[in-house]
Amino acid sequence: MDIAPGRNVTIQITATPTSAAACKTLARLCATDPAVARAKRWRKTHRPSREFWRRGGKMWHHQMKSKLPLKLERGAKFTVFASVDVLRELQSISRFVAVSPA
C-alpha cells in the first residue's frame, strides 16, 4: 500500500473475512467512518433498555450494548482517516479490502 498517513482513504470490502480477528479489525476500522459513528451515537442515546434499582442503599443501573450499525458485506464502502495505526491494520486485512485515496 502506497498511501501516506494523514489523509482520508476509502475502504471497499472485496471479500468476507474468514477469521473472527479479521472481522473484528474490519468492524473497528469501519466504525470510524463519520456516518457510522454518528449512527452509533444516535443508537446509543436512544436505547430503551436502561434499568435502575436500589442495592445496598445505592442506585445501580444497567444499559444494554448496541451492535454497530454497519454490514460487513462485499461491496460496502467506508471512508476513514488514514493514521499510521489504521494503515498498519489495513495491511493486516489487505486480502479482504481494496484501499484507495478518498
Is the full-model pTM beyond 0.75? yes
Residue 78: strand pairing partners: 11
Contacts 24+ apart (CB under 8 A), 63-68: 66/40, 68/27, 68/30, 68/31, 68/36, 68/40
Looking at the chain, list the stretches that DSSP marks H as alpha helix, in order from N- to C-terminal side: 20-30, 34-45, 84-92
How do residues 26-77 score in pLDDT, each as one tens digit?
A: 999 999 999 999 998 898 888 777 788 999 999 998 878 777 888 899 999 9
CA distance 23 to 17: 6
